[in-house]
Amino acid sequence: MKTTACIALCCVMSVATLSHAGDASLTDSEIKAILRDRIEVARKSVGMVVGIVDEHGTRVIGYGRFERDNGPEVNGDTVFEIGSTTKVFTTTLLQDMVERGKMKLDDPAAKYLPKSVKMPTRGGKEITLLDLAAHTSALPRMPDNFAPKDTRNPYADFTVAQMYACLSGCTLQRDIGAKYEYSNLGMGLLGHIVALKEHKSFEALVVERICRPLKMDSTCITLDAKLKARLAPGHTATGEPQPNWDLPTLAGAGALRSTVNDLLKFLSANMGLVKSTLTPMLQKTHAIRFRGAAPELDLALGWHVVHKFGGNLIWHNGETGGYHSFMGFSPDKRRGVVVLSNSANSIDDIGTHLLESQYKLARFQPVKERKVAKINYNIYDAYVGRYELAPDVFFTIRRDGDHLMAQLTGQSSLEVFPESETEFFYKVVDAQLTFVKNDKGEVTSLILHQNGQHPAAMRVK
């Protein structure tokens, strides 16, 4: 899930690219050095765990703690939120339903919903289960009626009734099946549909159909006391404590919690490195379902498939308010990698680098410490409005009492804090906004500062 960042984070980091020959795997100490630099030098995480599996077995390397200077050290049994990595579990459940003869990939999604729900159509075509699984449904990334009361736990109060209302009132902006457009709404709906069909919760189905057969005893949504004791607290991209997220309605989009040891079991079964009755079914989820999603990128059943450097990587990542996850494998090298972090900063570069050394480690600039300035909050009224960042992408700025809220199209509304009367910063991500005035003192645009780039958004309302 990437709904807390004002735009997708393109991480740039000051970790030197390691030099090593060919495809030789990095040693544990070399991997630990990467994690140490990421945590102690760049300060982009608090605790990180890497797991690697291949034909020689598994390795787990951890660095850091539950808190910056406190708590247990993280390890292979530490529990993290995995966010959108949940999506491949959702599509695995769909393939399982197909294997059982209870669903077909080309079934219309509307077939499994209450008659009162009016699924959107376009050009006489209906959205199928495959469209939901491959992000080609033309549904928006997020529901248009998504308005969380608590932006620190944004999905908690989004109800099934709201989802149904969103679907019934949705007008598709492009043809179904014509284009890849990542949709948390679509994948959350798919998880909901499978659960409806089986008269069980999404969590119960994941545990019953996937986790129990693979002996993944630390992957679930609802944590008992023992799992809670192993849950590493989350942190925002700037290192502040972040509450856990709850996704009761859109669970299939990103609600699972798991460990490196459990996800290595899942990868091992997907790759056929262990004997499992699930492997034939799991491997069907790797088949390409939509080609040309982006340059060098195709879509399988939930999985992203990248063709680069003479090989393929099959992967998914996830982000919640306080965590980031990466899970992927190289079918050519028969190597899988899991990376989990209790910070919202991306760790995808570490995962891809460990799978294929030609993917470089990112370089970060140190995060500047920012302080909230004391200002007259009435100046916020001048900033309220819409600002166009790109075609069909807008910042919506509104005032909520003494708080200034910024919302980017398809994402949740987040507070920005004043450094001065015109300069504001996010606390959950390393990004800032500057409001620009003309000679008359009228606000004409805002500038987004993130990852060394400074795009302007012109005021349109």
Residues forming beta bridges with residue 128, ordered by sequence position: 108
pLDDT of 91 reads 98
In the chain, % helix, strand, coil (3-state, to 5) comes to: 25, 25, 50
The per-residue pLDDT for range 319-369, each reduced to its tens digit, is 999 999 999 999 999 999 999 999 999 999 999 999 999 999 988 766 677
Which residues contact residue 52 at a Cβ distance below 8 angstroms, ignoring those fewer than 6 apart?
25, 58, 59, 60, 335, 336, 337, 354
Is residue 7 predicted with pLDDT exceeding 70?
A: no
Mean pLDDT within 80-98: 98
Range(s) of the chain covered by CATH 2.40.128.50: 377-459
Please enumerate in sequence order all residues whose Cβ is within 8 A of that of 389, keeping only pairs 6 or more positions apart, or say none.
Answer: 7, 395, 408, 448, 455, 457
* CA dist list (Å): 386 to 159, 321, 369, 437: 27, 25, 29, 15
Using CB atoms within 10 Å of the CB of residue 19, give its burial: 0 to 12 exposed, 13 to 18 middle, 19+ buried: exposed
Q: Let me know if 434 is exposed, middle or buried by CB neighbors in 10 A (0-12, 13-18, 19+).
A: middle
Contact 91, 190 (CB under 8 A): yes
Topology of the domain comprising 377-459: Lipocalin (2.40.128)
- pLDDT tens, 434-454? 999 999 999 999 999 987 789
The residues near 10 (Cβ < 8 Å, ≥ 6 apart) are: 451
CA atoms within 13 A on the CB side of 330: 23
Tell me if 336 sits within 8 A of 261, measured CB to CB: no
Q: Which pLDDT tens digit goes with each residue over 98-137?
A: 999 999 999 999 999 999 999 999 999 999 999 999 999 9
Distance CA 94, CA 191 (A): 8
pLDDT(4) > 70: no
1-367, which class in CATH? alpha beta
Would you say residue 90 has pLDDT above 90?
yes
Residue 363's pLDDT is what? 83
- In angstroms, rounded to a whole number, what is the distance separating the alpha carbons of residues 97 and 208? 13
Task: Provide the whole-model pTM.
Answer: 0.83
User: What does the pLDDT look like over 274-330, one tens digit per residue?
Assistant: 999 999 999 999 999 999 999 999 999 999 999 999 999 999 999 999 999 999 999
pLDDT at 331: 96
3-state secondary structure of 56: coil
Query: What are the helix (H) ranges across 199-332?
Result: 202-206, 225-229, 251-254, 260-271, 279-284
CA–CA separation, 442 and 59 (whole Å): 59
CA nearest to 129, candidates 85, 76, 177, 170: 177
pLDDT tens across 400-438, in order? Answer: 999 999 999 877 788 999 999 999 999 888 899 999 999
Q: Would you list the DSSP string of 223-241? A: --HHHHHTBPPEE-TTS-E
* Tens digits of residue pLDDT in 189-231: 999 999 999 999 999 999 999 999 999 999 999 999 999 999 9
d(CA 223, CA 220): 7
Q: Note the pLDDT tens digit of each residue in 144-161.
A: 999 999 989 999 999 999
Residue-level pLDDT at 367: 65
CA distance linking residue 162 with residue 43, whole number of Å: 39
Residues of the chain with CATH 3.40.710.10: 1-367
Residue 11 pLDDT level (bands cut at 50, 70, 90): very low
